[in-house]
Structure 1
């Protein structure tokens, strides 16, 4: 008669992907930014796979890959299984064509990361459809003019996307404008874009928005860059003050941080602006 120890029983019980996420909750929590609620984050991760048969099957194929993709979401402080951080099933050659989990930073995730850098007061990313009116003349206009008939039954096909940020000092960042050809070029560089499970198939407009937001991210400060500028400014002010006015406690130095967006379409196109007649109604 075979016997099973308590330790063996626990090991067997805890091998499902959902149980593994809950088991490693504390480890994920240590990776997250302080504002993220770890319990809610775990519920989202578990709910995403439990609510989708294909995702559950993909997570089960290689639980290690699934847990690693969640580490990226945790480190970035993004919610898994949402438009902040997509969890998508992808066929894997290493697993003989079986599905595994691929994590992709979404449009809302990119915008969240831009806000979190602390340099901007607002981020505008919008798609333009063929029956919209869009006007933007670089060098003359500070920001685009985009007129939409919100009550139209059909605004037409997607023709472009634009993005810019309003900085905390009121200035406008670089305005990024991409037409359909540029967005499609970015899509072509995206690994798995033609998969049935790709966000390019399931959430096309969100991926247009993401392409614009990703290009904008090149023109706004990263967290480390912005903190360095604040430290430099503080140091200059301190150097100009009398010694007695300088506080005894030094300002903490920010740690260098490289953010891996876990995406495929980076640097797909170098051009940020196309001619200003690409959208319907442009002048």
Structure 2
């Protein structure tokens, strides 16, 4: 029976009776010292038994996370957020979970739903940076003094004149005195920033139709959710947040971008496309990911039916009429 949950896969990966194969990275090396009893003891605790078992496994890569996390991010706060989201990732593969968490750590973002999210897509865990995560990285670049991201509702007072000098070209006065119903639905999303030198960037404005066009053309996660009928992508469940995020990503085209922001955008796009996100991982992170893949393969490889190898067939050249071989009845050359 194939293990169906993350806890089952981790348990299989750390069982002491696991067969060892002569390969560069063995499953036994992946979780040195782990035993089935250790997982069983963690699983006996009331509540969150899957979280405890998986955290026990993830702690073996503590040095990789410590090295990946920037100095301003507390290791304990990061793993506290990880523990909170693990129950929703119970069916993900260990390799994808480790990849998503390492990617999140490399950018110094905590997966708390505000800065970043670890999302489950089938059996894969995917790192998804939220718009607040992009804002954080913009501040870290040292070039941006402040970032403003907002949404204009139908009842708000606003004005936009692209030909006027900044900051007179754009104004927005939210009608906060009105009720939510009176203020109306969002009609525009905008983003701009003030640079550390005192200059203000161009104002980027996206209509709802603009956001829908971006969604339909670029989001493969949305397309997969549409085709499957699940309608569970972020564009389905939190359209306004994705609208704001798209506006902020458009802002990157008119302000200086740091190398880290470029990498974040690439990792975001790779996750949306269902591709590997550790595009910039150092050797240590890459080795940890290879170990996790080996553990997952060891846990499930023996459960899959073996393929029967097909021997290559010798290709016979057709006889050509009038050839010497054809006249001799197909026999080889006489010696």
TM-score under structure 1 length normalisation: 0.69
User: Residue 133 and residue 26 in structure 1: after superposition, are their counterparts in 2 closer, same or farther (change >3 A)?
Assistant: same
Equivalent of 2:268 in 253, 259, 263: 263
Structure 1 residue 4, shift from structure 2 partner: 6.4
Larger radius of gyration: 2
User: Residue 184 and residue 257 in structure 1: after superposition, are their counterparts in 2 closer, same or farther (change >3 A)?
Assistant: closer
Aligned 8 A contact 1:136 1:145 in 2: yes
CA separation in 1, counterparts of 2:117 and 2:34? 34
2:35 pairs with 1:9: yes
User: Residue 146 and residue 206 in structure 1: after superposition, are their counterparts in 2 closer, same or farther (change >3 A)?
Assistant: same
1:199-278 matches, within 5 Å, as 199-224=234-259, 259-261=263-265, 262-264=267-269
User: Residue 20 and residue 222 in structure 1: after superposition, are their counterparts in 2 closer, same or farther (change >3 A)?
Assistant: farther
Q: Equivalent residue for 2:65?
A: 28
Q: Equivalent residue for 1:191?
A: 220
CA separation in 1, counterparts of 2:121 and 2:94? 14
Structure 1 residue 34, shift from structure 2 partner: 1.8
Aligned 8 A contact 2:151 2:188 in 1: yes
**Tell me, what secondary structure is at the counterpart of 1:220?**
coil
CA separation in 2, counterparts of 1:197 and 1:58? 16
Equivalent of 2:124 in 100, 105, 110: 100
Equivalent of 2:96 in 47, 65, 84: 65
Give the root-mean-square deviation of aligned CA atoms. Answer: 2.8
Q: Equivalent residue for 1:88?
A: 119
Aligned residues: 220
2:186 pairs with 1:158: yes
User: Residue 170 and residue 209 in structure 1: after superposition, are their counterparts in 2 closer, same or farther (change >3 A)?
Assistant: same
Q: Equivalent residue for 1:228?
A: none
Structure 1 residue 141, shift from structure 2 partner: 4.2
Structure 1 residue 43, shift from structure 2 partner: 1.5
Structure 1 residue 257, shift from structure 2 partner: 8.6
Equivalent of 1:129 in 140, 149, 153: 153
Q: Equivalent residue for 1:79?
A: 110
CA separation in 2, counterparts of 1:128 and 1:157? 8
User: Residue 265 and residue 42 in structure 1: after superposition, are their counterparts in 2 closer, same or farther (change >3 A)?
Assistant: closer
**Tell me, what secondary structure is at the counterpart of 1:166?**
strand
Deviation by residue 1:69-88 (Cα, 9 ceiling, x = unmatched): 11111111111142211111
- Deviating more after overlay: 256-265 vs 80-89: 256-265
